[in-house]
Amino acid sequence: MFAGREPNVEVEAPDPDIASSPAIERARDAVMKIRSSSDSCAMRSVGSGWVVSEDRVVTNAHVVAGGQRITVQPGGQGERHEATVVAFDPDLDLAILRVDTLDAPVLDRAPDLDRGAEAVAAGYPQGGDYTLTAARVRAQMAAVGRDVYGSKPVNRDIYALNTQLLPGDSGGPLLTTDGQVAGTVFARSADDPNTGYALTDDATDSWLDQAAELSSEVPTGDCVSREE
């Protein structure tokens, strides 16, 4: 995640009851379970994503890297919809999918969160059921890390969070208390099980603002050896 030692920013534990608010619960139909598979590198991954505009879903690049068959499933149940990757940024670790058959609500995006703000990570940990995980912002920071292939250093604007993320949460939305998206979950700490990371909206807005206009399929690069 970080090119050097991870920062340690103390903040009080999140309130577990925050995940039960009606505004957050209503977001469920806009949070996708994402499956990606490829014969060429014998890989299969499961991650999370969220609807940024009509028929467009945001996830992490490492969830779909090398993918040849990608599907999204609203709420993690029912019909799986075939998806086409229309944006793939291995430096930022962001991808956007076009899903022509999708009928799901669009999530609004939120302003920056301050240190100590309550939030909720929504996704499918371990590829299982839809789960809401309480979080609290430790800090917003510019982080020097590696691209999804570990091949070069990159800079990202991120939230460090007091939360407990698992593989499969990656790509899901970081929701505010009123159900808006403040960021996109992309990693958990290698050092601290109570720390996770999300890309800020500022980090991703150049892609998210144009998501509705993206329609042409783009390559998904090589597979990656990494937890979803």
Please give the pLDDT value at position 2: 58
Q: 41: pLDDT confidence band, cut at 50, 70 and 90? A: confident
Please give the pLDDT value at position 228: 43
**What pTM, to 2 d.p., does this model score?**
0.94
Please give the pLDDT value at position 78: 87
Asked if 128 and 122 count as a contact pair (C-beta separation under 8 A), the reply is no
Bridge partners (DSSP) listed for residue 174: 121, 183
Average pLDDT over residues 120-145: 96
Domain positions in the chain:
16-24+107-202, 28-105+208-213
DSSP letter at 92?
Answer: T
Tell me whether the CATH fold assigned to 16-24+107-202 matches the one assigned to 28-105+208-213: yes
Q: 28: pLDDT confidence band, cut at 50, 70 and 90? A: very high
Asked if 86 and 214 count as a contact pair (C-beta separation under 8 A), the reply is yes
Residue 29 in this model has a pLDDT that exceeds 60: yes
CA dist 174 and 165 (Å) reads 11
In CATH terms, 28-105+208-213 corresponds, of 3.30.70.60, 3.30.30.10, 3.40.50.1980, 2.40.10.10, to 2.40.10.10
Q: In terms of Cα–Cα distance, which of 70, 123, 122 is closest to 96?
A: 70
DSSP letter at 213?
Answer: G
Q: What residues have CB less than 8 Å from 226, skipping those under 6 apart?
A: 62, 148
Please give the pLDDT value at position 152: 92
The overall average pLDDT reported for the chain is 93
Report the CATH architecture of 16-24+107-202: Beta Barrel (2.40)
Q: Which residues are catalytic?
A: 62, 93, 170
